[in-house]
A and B are shown apart, each in its own frame.
Chain A
């Protein structure tokens, strides 16, 4: 009845090994708002997030914190959590995958946008949307392999996670990071080898969602359960993926 949590690990890859110079393991995440930013060197930062799914309990603090911070309209989601339950009684596993825009270095959403300046990558690596310039063609929404974009009925423009830029400018961590009880999320500068996130990435096996898409995400996971409904598995094997988004298909 034991259930090893790492039965299925397709598509895993070692990521950014050796990027950080630090050798000591970092216990837990930085808990101080602004600390990640305070350690930014004079070099330009590239922001990223690391989610340790082993610490995630699927409590939705991030989901609701994001809604509150970003005034996300009801039924739309910048941040959501997938719960994956799988197996046959009593050999069952339950894993969580907190989701958000992956802030890709090669974002298909930006590539497909017909407007100049409507969506672009900032120098700090954050992919943003300018709702004033966006014409609402929805191409980016369809192009995103992570289903991270949606049309915001309040603005008529595409919308998605922007790592809470507004909080960052004030030295605060993104809302989802700050609210996470169990410190499952680490936010920081990937260009700084001494940042907590870089050290965690250097000392752990991390993976990204859909590396095959070539999007080069800047959101990393430890212990990611990457099974999705399109994966080949014995037909009798039970797998249920639920999110509060009411869309089971995981892209």
Chain B
């Protein structure tokens, strides 16, 4: 490339101004920040890589769900570099590898930049280019046919979580279907149900000031959740003790004490810790008496769960368990029992998650410095004035309701239950059309052969996506959406320790013919309006622009869109935590008793064990339990095809303990077959002492069946091909760690 030469010692006015603004916002002081030392040094011809910085546009990242503040350097309409926004209270200027590689998501040669209509068989990868007009007519025709035959409830809407998801959901609601499937039961539904029943919500954590941090599987150093990953490092530097319970030594575990627990026995450890705290009278009597219920029942219940018993279950020595309990009690209340995020592990996960806030409550480690706390968002944006949704809507087809899953979030649906209802014919009525919004179901739900069979039952599948994901590849039509760098999105207001309003705005023009989700739904809605009469015509519902939507959100805030677009974020005055209201009793927990419930009333009245009862683990001799997790440079199954990120880790491996490898005569780096009752993959062996002998680990997102993903195709193996379709019994959260596999030499 031809170097664009900056002027000696004085960069272009634009970028200098851009920098000054940035600096002033950060309060960096008045000193000339670009002090030229080059003039004083030896003359240097500009290196070949150098480029002028151009315009700096603030926005919000979308390479994962953290929504970090970014500064985009754009030269002549081309995005050259993404930097973090140092004024952002959540991210403090950092970005991750994924955030940096947003450029390659934008300029990805595999990106879909115009509508594609399938011409071959499903999944064959034969497409023809279509105009948007044709694409809308084609999609509306199919939707219309399904409504004609099955009613609007014959359509299923699946979406991935994002700021724009609301439009997709609304579209389905105005269409009149109750059948939605959101991401919760692929991720954190069981954690939410467990915490909700126990203390009425999932608390945040003051990791900076904690003295003792206990994490079960949570991997903040690789699976980022800002600002927790940075806070955790800072907490450790402040002297916190970190204990990570995980059958695999994650990077997070490497920063503290690693307890390689026998998988699925985590509840034995938490119950035994509670046993020791009560037996040795180490619990916080005042807190327990003040804001909890059911202590006496708990005391009687955990009497059976001795550390010696837990040692046999977990493989963690009884003396370690006793030591942990004593250390935690000594550090209390500055203890964080970390809730974790993805909890799609085991079939008893909601019950296990319940033990975490219970342990927290025994330590009195809530609503005080260095502990867990509730922090409701202080920034209250206005809401958009939507037209009224239809209220005469049939019940869900899959029975995901008060009766079958009384404690679940019914509008989010449950993937395992939903897929079974279709495949077993147990649904209340047929669902024949599937609208997908960036939801890569084939890659994200256990047992992809079953998902494939579910797709075969569909008369029509429409995927709105950016890339030819595995699932989009199986669709009948792909409608290309704009990337986060090309569009204005609803405002972003995080809840948690940091409060601000962030904007995601276009920094470059859309590639090809990609359109925003709102534009796609407007086009599709207009085509549908021509075909039939809806309660509220789509032309009346979606008759607004993204700018209108954002302005409505800003109505009650003392900042306007132009300022926000210039600054990238607005930080309200008065940051900081207000603690103590729950401890003092002036605020009540959202539980039936208003307190933290050791004995859960919600569980009791719905027929679940009101106190968590340990179920012994059943293992399969000679086979290993498969677990999954993340590396820091990939988000779920979404960016393994990104050229820069794929270069960091071209293919995934199966982690095998050295002793197991020796028994199986498997060499590090050789390809092996991994076989489960439902599938088989070929994958490279990574022999490492960072995992237990009875467990193997495969990271997620490889083994694509989409030949459209040219960087990724043919590399690695897919964990979800192997996984059996188990689910948590209470929340229907899929249970990804319930499959035993066999490692076989090729």
Please give the residue numbers on chain A whose beta carbons come within 8 Å of chain B beta carbons, in ascending order. 1-3, 27-28, 31-35, 37-40, 44-45, 54-55, 57-61, 63-65, 67-72, 74-75, 85, 87-90, 92-95, 120, 122-124, 128-133, 152, 154-155, 157, 159, 162, 165-166, 168-172, 175, 178-183, 238, 240, 244
Contacts and interface: CB of A to CB of B under 8 A. Distances in A.
A88 B689 contact: yes
Interface in B185-235: 221-222, 224, 226, 229-230, 233-234
B546 interface: no
Interface string B251-288: 11011011110000000000000000000000000000
Contacts of B82: 68
A168 B46 CA distance: 13
Nearest to B26: A32
Contact of B37 (A67, A88, A124, A175): A124
A203 to B, nearest CB: 13
Interface in B1-48: 1, 6, 9, 11, 15-16, 19, 22-23, 26-29, 31-38, 40-42, 44-48
Interface of chain A: mostly helix, strand, loop or mixed? loop
B251 A58 contact: yes
A175 B100 CA distance: 10
A234 B28 CA distance: 51
Contact of A123 (B36, B40, B93): B40
A38 B29 contact: yes
B49 interface: yes
B34 A34 contact: yes
Nearest to A81: B648
A40 B35 CA distance: 9
Contacts of A130: 44-45, 47
B657 interface: yes
Interface string B81-99: 1111010000111111101
A182 B259 CA distance: 24
B643 A74 contact: yes
Contacts of B633: 59-60, 64
A136 to B, nearest CB: 13
B53 interface: yes
Contacts of B682: none
B687 to A, nearest CB: 9
A95 to B, nearest CB: 8
A68 B690 contact: no
Given A32-B28, A55-B233, A61-B97, A169 B38 contact: yes
A128 B44 contact: yes
23 contacts: A3-B258, A31-B26, A37-B35, A44-B40, A57-B251, A60-B96, A61-B94, A61-B99, A65-B100, A68-B80, A68-B82, A74-B647, A88-B658, A89-B657, A89-B659, A93-B254, A123-B40, A123-B42, A166-B46, A171-B35, A181-B91, A181-B224, A181-B230
Contact of B28 (A38, A40, A133): A38
B36 A169 contact: yes
Nearest to B254: A94
Contact of A34 (B28, B41, B226): B28
B690 A170 contact: no
A34 B23 contact: yes
Interface string B661-690: 000000000000000000000000000111
Contacts of B1: 71, 154
Closest A-B pairs by Cβ, 4 of them? A181-B94, A171-B33, A34-B33, A94-B254
B27, B236, B648, B688 — which one has the most chain A CB atoms within 10 A of its CB? B648
B606 interface: no
A38 to B, nearest CB: 4
B37, B224, B257, B633 — which one has the most chain A CB atoms within 10 A of its CB? B37
Q: Report the interface size class on chain B.
A: 35 or more
A170 B6 CA distance: 10
B46, B47, B230, B236 — which one has the most chain A CB atoms within 10 A of its CB? B47
Interface in B47-75: 47-51, 53
Nearest to A133: B45
Given A64-B648, A128-B47, A59 B93 contact: no
B632 A64 contact: no
Given A34-B19, A34-B28, A55 B237 contact: yes
Nearest to B250: A94
A123 B42 CA distance: 7
Nearest to A36: B33
Given A34-B19, A171-B35, 19 more contacts: A37-B34, A39-B31, A54-B233, A55-B233, A59-B97, A59-B221, A85-B689, A89-B690, A92-B249, A94-B249, A123-B37, A129-B47, A165-B50, A168-B37, A169-B34, A179-B100, A182-B230, A182-B233, A183-B230
B11 A169 contact: yes
Given A33-B33, A38-B29, A169-B34, A131 B47 contact: yes
B484 interface: no
A166 B6 contact: yes
A234 B688 CA distance: 18
A34 B15 CA distance: 14
B15, B95, B224 — which one has the most chain A CB atoms within 10 A of its CB? B95
A38 B31 contact: yes
A183 B93 CA distance: 9
A38 B237 contact: no
A33 B19 contact: yes
A1 B692 CA distance: 13
B408 interface: no
A65 B6 CA distance: 21
Nearest to B30: A38
Contact of A35 (B28, B41, B233): B28
A177 B698 CA distance: 31
A170 B97 contact: no
B44 A94 contact: no
A55 B236 CA distance: 9
A88 B690 CA distance: 8
B579 to A, nearest CB: 22
Contacts of B649: 244
A238 B93 CA distance: 37
Given A59-B222, A88-B689, A94-B251, A244 B647 contact: yes
B42 to A, nearest CB: 6
A160 B80 CA distance: 20
A165 B36 contact: no
B47 A61 contact: no
Interface string B622-663: 000000000011000000000111011100000001110000
Contacts of A1: 257-260, 320
A57 B221 contact: yes
A94 B250 CA distance: 9
A170 B7 CA distance: 11
A37 B33 contact: yes
B101 interface: yes
Contacts of B11: 169-170
A26 to B, nearest CB: 12
A181 B237 contact: no
B160 interface: no
A1, A129, A169 — which one has the most chain B CB atoms within 10 A of its CB? A169
A119 B436 CA distance: 55
